[in-house]
Amino acid sequence: MRLARWNVALAAALATLLSLPAWGADTNTRRTAMPGTLNYVEGQASIGDQALDSKSVGQADLQDGQILSTGNGKAEVLLTPGVYLRVGSNSEVKMVSTSLANTQVAVDRGEAMLEVDRIYKDNNIHVDQAGADTRIEKNGLYDFDAAGNLIRVFDGKAEVTSNDHNTTVKGGHELDLVADGKLKAHGFSKDQVRQDDDLYRWSSLRSEYLSEANVDSARLYYADGGWGPGWYGPGWYWNPWFAGFTYLPGDGFFYNPFGWGFYSPIMVYRAPFIVGGGYYHHFDGGRSVAIGRGFHGHAVRGFSSAHLGGFHTGGANAFHGARGGGGMHGGGGHR
């Protein structure tokens, strides 16, 4: 009995420790996530003449007009909730506007990748490069290669404007910005880029860590059938054990473009198990069993909605082939 009470007290203390609003204000360290907030850094990186290191995470902000530069290093910056900007080595990215309604960055040198897990109709996210303006229209994964003057869309949809000409670039297509002055997208090999592109592999690894942080955080925001302290709906939430912000959806769950799962607190509460960060998580105290990236392939074929604690998902087939779906929700099995 004493042990049970101790476990309840410990859970309450942990929930209090993670009592953060949707934008992720941490009252102990004064970390607040807004567009431009640094979420991870490794190697050589700076904002202006300010060198960045692990202590800068959650503290440093890229303001309008400022430039984030990398040498032999990489950096991850938060934009609107659910959107990550990752900057490759030997690159420069300028923050043009940190406005929630008009978020704009410019890739001046090197390479940057945009992971868009959540985009709302009122979001207006733009990336400038080599005189071209790219407006992000759907959840997905986007790559901006300033050295090669290329824009790649792995998944999603973007509208590119250059020299008063517009073109739509969909998933699996890239656009050469200097090909005879024409804007014409063509297909590319995703597998080849995944194999050869260092920033892609690094981004996928970062995405996996963020998925694990999501599952860890989501468990602490729902206790005894009610919302835990500090829950303010979907948004960025600071996780001290992963030393960064992760995204928590308001309900249900979704898979990001890399195939990693992100879950809401209510999803964690209702499901006897959940898959996130590449593991099969038992929330009733059981051990975690690795089964791969989320509900995809044949990993959970045969499970019905009853196995998800009454959380309706449309059955096992709703999960099949979900990797890279970028936006699949539970809660009635709708998108």
* pLDDT tens per residue, range 109-136: 999 999 999 998 899 999 999 889 999 9
> Does the pLDDT of residue 92 top 90, yes or no?
yes
Domain region containing 38:
31-196
| Cα(213)–Cα(247) distance, integer angstroms | 9
- The CATH code of the domain that includes 178 is 2.60.120.1440
> Does the pLDDT of residue 205 top 70, yes or no?
yes
Residues 19 and 52 grouped into a single domain: no
Q: What is the pLDDT of residue 137?
A: 96
| Cα(284)–Cα(273) distance, integer angstroms | 8
Residues 213 and 170 grouped into a single domain: no
**Mean pLDDT score of the chain:** 75
Residues 284 and 329 grouped into a single domain: yes
Residues 309 and 217 grouped into a single domain: yes
Q: What is the pLDDT of residue 320?
A: 27
Q: Assess contact for 172 and 192: CB atoms under 8 A.
A: no
Confidence of residue 183 (pLDDT cuts 50, 70, 90): confident
Residues 7 and 77 grouped into a single domain: no
Q: What is the pLDDT of residue 276?
A: 42
Q: What is the pLDDT of residue 181?
A: 60
Lowest mean pLDDT among 171-180, 239-248, 253-262: 171-180
Question: How many structural domains does the chain have?
Answer: 2
Confidence of residue 306 (pLDDT cuts 50, 70, 90): very low
Q: How far is C-alpha 283 from the chain's CA centre?
A: 23
Domain termination site, one of 196, 224, 242:
196
Mean pLDDT of 270-288: 46
End-to-end CA distance of the chain: 44
Q: What is the pLDDT of residue 182?
A: 72
Percentage, residues of the chain above pLDDT 70: 68
Q: Name which residue leads in pLDDT, 153 or 131.
A: 153
Residues 41 and 159 grouped into a single domain: yes
Q: What is the pLDDT of residue 252?
A: 86
Other residues' Cβ atoms within 10 Å of the Cβ of residue 149 = 16
Confidence of residue 84 (pLDDT cuts 50, 70, 90): very high
Q: What is the pLDDT of residues 68-77, one digit of tens each?
A: 999 999 999 9
Q: Name which residue leads in pLDDT, 251 or 22.
A: 251
Residues 231 and 333 grouped into a single domain: yes
> Does the pLDDT of residue 255 top 80, yes or no?
yes
Q: How far is C-alpha 97 from the chain's CA centre?
A: 20
> Does the pLDDT of residue 286 top 50, yes or no?
no
Residues 22 and 36 grouped into a single domain: no
Q: What is the pLDDT of residue 4?
A: 40
DSSP 36-81: TBEEEEEEEEEETTEE--GGGTTT-B--TT-EEEEEEEEEEEE-ST
> Does the pLDDT of residue 88 top 70, yes or no?
yes
Q: What is the pLDDT of residue 282?
A: 44
